[in-house]
Chains A and B, each alone.
Chain A
């Protein structure tokens, strides 16, 4: 695909001189897009209240996907949600990280036998860190966030780069699940009911 060619040489566009500074800044100010999927949604508020205060690491729940850096997938993902997750993920701007939270995004969890749960999220969007547990304790989530901070510092958290480079593969998996042209179809779905 010709429009994808520009993205593959992303490494060259980095500001080499300021890169350590930017890496430190990215690590220190991760803004979470407030997208609560499934039952993990109720595990998000305790992270930001007085007991386990994540704001001391500079994290902030942010309602707008354009400004956010970190996407927490907190629970099972149905195909209907996955469409929204993919659109939100593509709206986020480029160094962006995904943290899968709980067992369901890893292998389906207790919904292994369900016709309507996406078993392996990693086939559709790239995951940087996964935390097991149903539900994980806030300490476990904080541990996962520490891990993602370490990965950002060393440059290992490269989900956004993998998504650019292997876009055809991810796109193929998404199209296999939803069928070709699902974005347009989903946008026009409600027109008949207006």
Chain B
């Protein structure tokens, strides 16, 4: 028999995350506009954009994999979301859900790449090549930051990490984990696809990167996926380093704080080229990550 309560909770969480994720995307555009002394779009602008994309009367498809890519990406982001302890309830849990979430947050990129490659556009191919290289490069510091965290707390469970933080104070109060947070924050910029690591979409440089062939309803799916992904990633950051949250409002405040750091970095730095990004990821964040791991031993 179905567990109706669990299903309803999951649906409620997905709706909440999508809505808040869209508002986060709006905050991102609005804050960047204010930094450039513009008025900027209204804060609910991404919702209107998605509605418009859903209302398109034509959808170009390049075959089954092209349709499947965005759905796969959206599914992976939703799964990552369901494993996170949002406020004080966690829908699904396993013994190693930190690793599960860390990898599920990478999978949507692969889904987009899968769809983009099947469109056969050379701009998509260049975007995919850049995206995969960024992913490979950022795995090393990302892994080191998580290893430092796991070694310090001695647990792979996100709920344990939140509980330990509520007992002993936030992670960033520990010097070693503060270094790990700096490393994670650099990687976070690439995970969100913001400058200086927005080499994957690279607007105006390689058209739109992998998303160049997506339009209409496919693009609406990708927008929704980005909203869910943004919510899940900021929540993951808040859970790991800012002590989780006991209610949704507290979580929201922490997520927005994390988001604003990302926006402020993104709005003043230009874009790295792909070789510079790979070099950068394997130099400074990796050194800092190794120091963090050594300090927690």
Contact = CB atoms under 8 A, between A and B. Distances in A.
Do these two chains really belong together in a complex?
yes
Interface of A: 10, 13-15, 18, 21-22, 25-26, 28-29, 31, 34, 49-50, 53, 55-58, 62-64, 66-67, 69, 92-95
Contacts of B168: none
A66 to B, nearest CB: 3
Interface SS of chain A: helix, strand, loop or mixed? loop
Contact of B48 (A14, A58, A62): A58
Contacts of A67: 53, 208, 211, 214-215, 219
Q: Which 3 A-B pairs have the closest CB atoms?
A: A66-B215, A22-B55, A94-B58
B279 interface: no
B273 to A, nearest CB: 18
Given A18-B55, A66-B60, A50 B38 contact: yes
A69 B52 CA distance: 10
Contacts, number: 96
Interface residues of B, number: 33
Contacts of A26: 52, 55
A58 B41 contact: yes
A50 B55 contact: no
A92 B211 CA distance: 14
B45 A29 contact: yes
B48 A28 contact: yes
Interface of B: 29, 33, 36-42, 45, 48-49, 51-60, 203-204, 207-208, 211-216, 219
B207 A53 contact: no
A95 to B, nearest CB: 6
Nearest to B32: A55
Contacts of A64: 207-208, 211-215
A21 B36 CA distance: 31
A58 B40 contact: no
- Interface centre among A13, A15, A66, by most B CB within 10 Å? A66
Contact of A55 (B37, B40, B60): B40
B27 to A, nearest CB: 14
A47 B270 CA distance: 22
Contacts of B211: 64, 67
A184 to B, nearest CB: 18
Given A34-B204, A66-B60, A50 B49 contact: no
B204 A63 contact: yes
Contacts of A28: 45, 48, 52
B57 A95 contact: yes
A63 B38 contact: no
A55 B38 contact: yes
Contacts of A18: 55
